[in-house]
Structure 1
Amino acid sequence: MKIQNARVIVTCPGRNFVTLKIETDQGVYGIGDATLNGRELSVVAYLEEHVLPCLIGMDPRRIEDIWQYLYRGAYWRRGPVTMSAVSAVDTALWDIKGKMAGMPLYQLLGGRSRESVMVYGHANGADIEETIDAVGSYIAMGYRAIRAQTGIPGIKDAYGVGRGTLFYEPADGTLPSNTVWDTHKYLTHVPKLFEKLRTTYGFDYHLLHDGHHRMTPIEAAQLGKALEPYRLFWLEDATPAENQEAFRLIRQHTTTPLAVGEIFNTIWDAKDLIQNQLIDYIRTTVVRAGGITHLRRIADLAALYQVRTGSHGATDLSPITMGAALHFDTWVPNFGIQEYMRHTEETDAVFPHDYRFEAGALLCGETPGHGVDIDENLAAKYPYKPAYLPVARLEDGTMWNW
């Protein structure tokens, strides 16, 4: 069995997605997600110019060897562009193997560890009252876990205040827009949100919050301590994690659970955080961290230290990643939670899939492979549209972390 053809499909049914399709000489094909929000075409070029010519003629069943070839053989390792490309290849190969075996992907990984996958949705509001209403809407839909974000008085376009009720797409222009940030105002306001949420809905629901790398370690520690009475499921991305030791300072001052890793590319980004038990949840995902093959290694390391998974699942990941992630989540023994932002109807039509939402959880299907396909004719009706993520500046103009 040989790889006969491989090609990249770019489509924009409401937002840009990059899909890799690998076809074999036996008529079996697999697809993988290669989307890198705001930098999509960089991955397209990496795949088309450097990866796909090497794949032709290879045996698609040799997933591990091909992964090592693409990672070690490139010399220039890691990074979001390289690893998004490797992830797409790996996901497509697992899809092919599942179809060849006549089994859903989770069975190839070792079978079920659970019957369903608990997910959380995003409740956003321009102010506290709007966010409270949004959380109530998610509860009414059956969610048991909700991420809550609110606008901050005096901060225009605060992170997490989305456009629409179920969808949040921050990429918003042909050039990056500017947002303003003030951590002092944020730290003063956010505890008020969670106090009101617990007063309104009690403690029967999991509440999460995303700091989006905006705080210094000591500021994050202050927020974590202030939120302790409200028993958050986690505080996400409290500070940039390039310096993994930064989380030690946060950990010393608060018992609020910590989650990080959606922008991590390899196990090396998370190694110290995990083995020093500085986090509680690792957020690496299929499309960003080398596909199923490498994500398994990260999860296995995390399991040794009672760190659980909480994979990224925003709308900048296509349904292909969500489908593959759900099979991974169904198998992985140290599962924690799965982020789930719903895609638009247009996106769901381009990427038909067999996973479904029930009672606050997602269930992967039994279709061989990862259970997601692409309608290429429909995809062709949505051409690529340049879109950048915003940048953030402090009120005095200083660049800050987005």
Structure 2
Amino acid sequence: MRITDVRLILTSPGANYLTVKVITDDGLYGLGDATLVGRELAVATYLEEYVIPMLIGRDPSAIEDTWQLLGRSAYWRRGPVHTTAQSAIDMALWDIKGKELGAPVYQLLGGRSRRGVLAYSHASGIEIAQAVDAMHEQIAAGYRAVRLQCGVPGLPSTYGVVSDESDQPRAPHEVPYEESWNTAAYLETAPKLFAAARDAVGMDVHLLHDAHHRLTSIEAAALGKSLEPYRLFWLEDPVQADDQTAFRLVRQHTTTPLAVGEVVNHLSECQTLISERLIDYIRATVVHAGGITGLRRIAAFAEPFGVRTGCHGAPDMSPVTLAAALHTGISTHNVGIQEHGRHTSTTDEVFPHAYTFADGYLDPGEAPGLGVDIDEGLAARFEYRRKYLPTTRLVDGTMWNW
């Protein structure tokens, strides 16, 4: 069996997605997600001009060799564009392998090591009371873990807070735009949010929170300490992920569990965080960290240090990514939790899939391969349009981290 064609499918059924379709001379094909939010065309160009010509005529079953080829063939390597392209091809080849053998991918990775992957959903509100109400809705929908965010007084918008939870497209925007940020007001508000949430549900529900890389080390330490009474499942992205040693100071001052890694592209970018036990959860995602092959390497490295995975799973990555994360997660020992940013109903129609959610857990299903397909006719109805993630300035005008 040989690879005869690799096609790229750009579509926007609620969000922009770039899908890779690797086709073989046996008629089998595999899908991979190549979505890099806000920079999709950069990955498409990289694939078209440099990666796809290397793949035609290759044996699709040589997954490890192809992963190494794509990782080592560029002298200037890694980075999000490079590894997203590598990840997409890796997912597609695992999908083909499963279909060829008539087995779900998780069976090729060692089989089940749990009955399901614990999932968390999102709840938010402009006011604390609204966020608590949204949390109750997610619990009623079956979630045992909820990420909770609320607005910051004085700011017109806040990361993670959406005013409309309906089945409609959301950010990024079609034109560049800015948000403002006030750290002091945020540090006052966050503990009040979780005090209200615990008063409402007690300690039986896992609660998570995302600081989105906006704090200095000592600010993050103070936040973690102030949140200790509310027993968070984790505090996510308290400081910039690429400053691995910054977590030493945070760790010294708080016992709140720490999570980071959705922007990690390679094991080297989180090696210190894991080996020094500076975090509790590594959030690397299958679409940006080298595909299934790359994610498994990170998880295997993390296991002896007691660090578990908590893979990024926002709805701006396609169902192909979620399926690949679930096949990896169901078969990997040190999995902690999986983010479940639910897709719009239109996205689910474009990407029919075998994975399911019930009673707080996600399951990859038993379909051969990854268990996700794409309706190309339907996908063609949703035209791709360039969109931007926001930039952020402090209230004094200083450019800051979004």
Q: Is the TM-score greater than 0.5? A: yes
* Residues 131-173 of structure 1 deviation map (CA, whole Å, 9 limit, x = unaligned): 0000000111111000000001111211111142267966332
What SS does the aligned partner of 1:310 have? strand
Give the whole-Å Cα distance in 2 for the aligned partners of 1:75 and 1:109.
30
The answer to whether the aligner puts 1:142 opposite 2:145 as a matched pair is no
Counterpart amino acid of residue 203 in structure 1: M
The answer to whether the aligner puts 1:154 opposite 2:151 as a matched pair is no
Equivalent residue number for residue 46 of structure 1: 46
Change (3 A) 1:287 1:221: same
CA contact (8 A) 1:169 1:315 kept: no
Give the whole-Å Cα distance in 2 for the aligned partners of 1:190 and 1:311.
23
CA contact (8 A) 1:162 1:168 kept: no
Give the whole-Å Cα distance in 1 for the aligned partners of 2:146 and 2:116.
17
| 1:181-200 equivalence runs, <5 A | 181-200=181-200
Give the whole-Å Cα distance in 2 for the aligned partners of 1:70 and 1:186.
42
What SS does the aligned partner of 1:48 have? helix
CA contact (8 A) 2:126 2:163 kept: no
Counterpart amino acid of residue 90 in structure 1: D
* Residues 203-255 of structure 1 deviation map (CA, whole Å, 9 limit, x = unaligned): 00000000000100100000000000000000000000212000000000000
Change (3 A) 1:183 1:78: same
Equivalent residue number for residue 5 of structure 2: 5
What SS does the aligned partner of 1:349 have? helix
Equivalent residue number for residue 337 of structure 1: 337
Counterpart amino acid of residue 64 in structure 2: E
Equivalent residue number for residue 83 of structure 1: 83
What SS does the aligned partner of 2:326 have? helix
Counterpart amino acid of residue 209 in structure 1: H
What SS does the aligned partner of 2:256 have? coil
Equivalent residue number for residue 68 of structure 2: 68
Give the whole-Å Cα distance in 2 for the aligned partners of 1:259 and 1:169.
27
* Residues 283-341 of structure 1 deviation map (CA, whole Å, 9 limit, x = unaligned): 00110100000111100010010000000000111000001111111001001000001
What SS does the aligned partner of 1:148 have? strand
CA contact (8 A) 2:213 2:237 kept: yes
> Shift of residue 385 of structure 1?
1.2
The answer to whether the aligner puts 1:15 opposite 2:15 as a matched pair is yes
* Residues 337-394 of structure 1 deviation map (CA, whole Å, 9 limit, x = unaligned): 0000110111000000011110111111100101000001111111101110011101
Equivalent residue number for residue 25 of structure 1: 25
Give the whole-Å Cα distance in 2 for the aligned partners of 1:107 and 1:89.
20
| 1:167-178 equivalence runs, <5 A | 171-178=171-178
Equivalent residue number for residue 209 of structure 1: 209
Across the aligned residues of Structure 1 and Structure 2, the Cα RMSD in angstroms comes to 1.0
CA contact (8 A) 1:87 1:290 kept: yes
The answer to whether the aligner puts 1:326 opposite 2:336 as a matched pair is no
The answer to whether the aligner puts 1:264 opposite 2:264 as a matched pair is yes
Equivalent residue number for residue 387 of structure 2: 387
Q: Which moved more, 1:158-167 or 1:254-263?
A: 158-167
Equivalent residue number for residue 360 of structure 1: 360
Identity %: 59
Equivalent residue number for residue 97 of structure 1: 97
Give the whole-Å Cα distance in 2 for the aligned partners of 1:168 and 1:227.
33
Give the whole-Å Cα distance in 1 for the aligned partners of 2:11 and 2:316.
13
Change (3 A) 1:234 1:375: same
* Residues 163-197 of structure 1 deviation map (CA, whole Å, 9 limit, x = unaligned): 42267966332222110001000001110000011
Change (3 A) 1:348 1:163: farther
> Shift of residue 37 of structure 1?
0.5
* Residues 250-272 of structure 1 deviation map (CA, whole Å, 9 limit, x = unaligned): 00000000000001000011100
What SS does the aligned partner of 1:187 have? helix
CA contact (8 A) 1:314 1:340 kept: yes
Counterpart amino acid of residue 280 in structure 2: D
Give the whole-Å Cα distance in 2 for the aligned partners of 1:264 and 1:80.
8
> Shift of residue 123 of structure 1?
0.2
Counterpart amino acid of residue 229 in structure 1: P
Aligned length: 402
CA contact (8 A) 1:168 1:315 kept: no
Counterpart amino acid of residue 19 in structure 1: T
Equivalent residue number for residue 302 of structure 1: 302
Gaps of at least 5 residues in structure 2 are: none
Counterpart amino acid of residue 265 in structure 2: N
Give the whole-Å Cα distance in 1 for the aligned partners of 2:375 and 2:170.
26
Gaps of at least 5 residues in structure 1 are: none
